[in-house]
Amino acid sequence: MKRVLSGIQPSGQLHLGNYAGAIRQFIDMQVDHEMYIFVASYHALTSVREPKVLKENIRQVVIDYLAFGLDPKKTHLYLQQDVPQVTELCWLLSCVCPKHMMDKATSFKDKVSKGLSASIGLYTYPILQAADILGVDPDFVPVGEDQRQHVEITRDLAEAFNRQYGPVFKVPDLKIRKDAGLLPGVDGQKMSKSYNNAIDPFMAEKPLRKRIMSIVTDSAPVEEKKDPKKCVVFQIFQAVAGADDPRTAQLAERYQRGGMGYGEAKQALFELILQEFAAARTRREELSKDPGYVDEVLRQGAAAANEKISAVVSRARTAVGL
């Protein structure tokens, strides 16, 4: 069975971009892959400086993973801090990482330009990510489009290490859903936990509707024919329903025909989200009341991940002469 590794930072509430770009792939792949999915808590230290907030975020990401449909019988779910050998692996990889490899990473510049502090942790973040990935010898890394460059850096680092020390790391393949580009947020920029533009499908109905009604649109009048591909409301609808879903084709047709205002499209998106995530919303409430179950899932997930990473770190230590 092919193995899969991916993670999400607990840097805020998960959103439809995380779902469309990453989590939906995890749910599809867990059917016939060996899955390692984690909460990237060390990574979140590059942006979250409030310990209480970080703790709550970490717990919420686990609950949300489970609510969205990750099944602990098929997926090893764990917290990054419960697998601390990733930091040793990160160091071993840092020592074969040329500085220019980090200089070219665009996410550092993007995040600093959006106000994050330019820490060394943020700068070398892709090396820790490479350690997370290479630590479990995965075949595939499913991520959203914005993570493409980071997974390519992981591949480059694995190859650099293998060139120097012999074949220690398996070089994994990137997996990006063909129909999922980068999902825009309510302001039309990349939907992101930290840009205050995200749609959280677990919001209470009233604020959820308000959020959806705030999505930016152009000022085209109701009667005008519209290009669905240029509209953020449609892009989000398509990401939730799926590109091949008849509801997506129907809405596209309404745009193209004219006679539909953006308010109507937003209402359709609101109803779609409530419908698509009804079961997840109920599950999330139940999980919030069962901390013992969540703890046990994490304990078992960490045990499985630690077993894998111990073997990889041991291989890497021997290779470098430690």
Residue type, 161: F
Catalytic residue list contains 225: no
Report, in Å, the least distance between residue 177 CB and ligand AQP.
9
Strands 34-39 and 3-8 turn out to be parallel
Report, in Å, the least distance between residue 275 CB and ligand AQP.
21
Give the active site residue among 111, 226, 266, 308.
111
Give the active site residue among 74, 104, 193, 225.
193
Give the active site residue among 190, 226, 266, 308.
190
- Closer residue to ligand AQP in complex, CB, 17/201: 17
Alpha helices per DSSP H over 166-227: 205-213
- Closer residue to ligand AQP in complex, CB, 96/135: 135
Catalytic residue list contains 206: no
DSSP character for 169? S
Phi, psi dihedral angles at 184 (to 5 degrees): -80, 155
- Closer residue to ligand AQP in complex, CB, 45/143: 143
Phi, psi dihedral angles at 113 (to 5 degrees): -70, -20
Catalytic residue list contains 175: no
> Which residues bind to ligand AQP, rule: CB under 6 A?
8-9, 11, 17-18, 20-22, 40, 47, 143-147, 182-183, 190-194
| 3-class DSSP assignment, residue 35 | strand
Report, in Å, the least distance between residue 278 CB and ligand AQP.
23
- Closer residue to ligand AQP in complex, CB, 63/316: 63
Residues forming a β-bridge with 77? 37
The answer to whether 103 touches 136, Cβ cutoff 8 Å, is no
Alpha carbon distance 138, 5 (integer Å): 6
Report, in Å, the least distance between residue 38 CB and ligand AQP.
10
| Residue number, nearest CB to ligand AQP | 21
- Closer residue to ligand AQP in complex, CB, 34/132: 132
Report, in Å, the least distance between residue 25 CB and ligand AQP.
8
Structure-block tokens of residue 257: 């025909």
Alpha helices per DSSP H over 176-290: 205-213, 232-241, 246-257, 262-276, 278-288
**Residues recognised as catalytic:** 111, 190, 193
